[in-house]
Copies of this chain bind each other. A is one copy, B any other.
Amino acid sequence: MKYIQTIPTCETCDLQKFSVFKHLTKIELANLSIDKGCNFFKRGNVLYNEGNRINGFYCVNQGVVKLVKTGIEGREQIIRFAQKGDIIGYRSILSKELACTTAKVIDDAVVCFIPASKLFGLVQNNNSFAMELMKLACKELGEANKFILDIAQKTVRERLAEVLMLLRETFGLDEDHVLQILLTREELANIVGTATESVIRLLSEFKSDKIIALNGRKIQFLNENTLIRLSNFYE
């Protein structure tokens, strides 16, 4: 982690238009930039650890961050990802609890830090912002609930197929249908909630079935419909 030369200002940040900050006034945005910190983080860097008291929240400007909970014998469970425009740490601040996850960079990232007081100020004075924030929390809650059902009832194969489609939604594919995020087998296992070896075996099954192609950590999507069907997705 190191200080970067040009701190992106919130007023000129393009991401702001599509994020939770979209309803802020010019003045509010300018105010947000004051006291703001901004750092560059390399893969593996940790923004904060589970159990930390954090006094602000983070806004991802570039790169990818994973939010993980650590369980039995240090095994990680990936709860969600954050990429450009996403904010993290807001949950702990609003609920006035300790951080319930560790935030670890998995793709070199530029991340801004905004003190909690700013967040509370905005919630107090800008109802649209408060609504956006609530919407965000409620959306995440809905996703978490869905994930509970999946992990409780689906097989590992179904979950892996679903996770692949989920990653596809989140990070997209390039022109060759290659997934635009590189994860280790272990990280994949930590999303699905299974053993690394199980992921490896299932991936190579999918490969023999011509559903995906593998090249190191690159995953190429060959047959999305089958993947959706395998994930046992309905409704």
Contacts and interface: CB of A to CB of B under 8 A. Distances in A.
A95 to B, nearest CB: 4
Given A77-B148, A134-B130, A134-B133, A72 B153 contact: yes
B71 A149 contact: yes
Given A51-B235, A154-B72, A134 B123 contact: yes
Contacts of A131: 94, 120, 123
B145 A101 contact: yes
A147 interface: yes
Interface stretch (A1-9, A135-143, A200-208, A221-229): A135-143
A90 B35 CA distance: 34
A97 B135 CA distance: 10
A232 B91 contact: no
Contacts of A134: 94-95, 123, 130, 133-134, 137
B77 A142 contact: no
A127 to B, nearest CB: 5
A210 interface: no
A196 to B, nearest CB: 14
A43 interface: no
A66 to B, nearest CB: 13
Interface in A71-127: 71-72, 75, 77, 79, 90-92, 94-97, 100-101, 120, 123-124, 127
A120 to B, nearest CB: 8
Question: Interface of chain A, helix or strand or loop or mixed?
Answer: helix
Interface string A143-179: 0111111111110000000000000000000000000
A153 B170 CA distance: 25
B149 A147 contact: no
A43 to B, nearest CB: 23
A63 B92 CA distance: 31
A69 interface: yes
A193 interface: yes
Contact of A95 (B120, B135, B150, B151): B135
Interface of A: 51, 69, 71-72, 75, 77, 79, 90-92, 94-97, 100-101, 120, 123-124, 127, 130-131, 133-135, 137-142, 144-154, 193, 232, 235
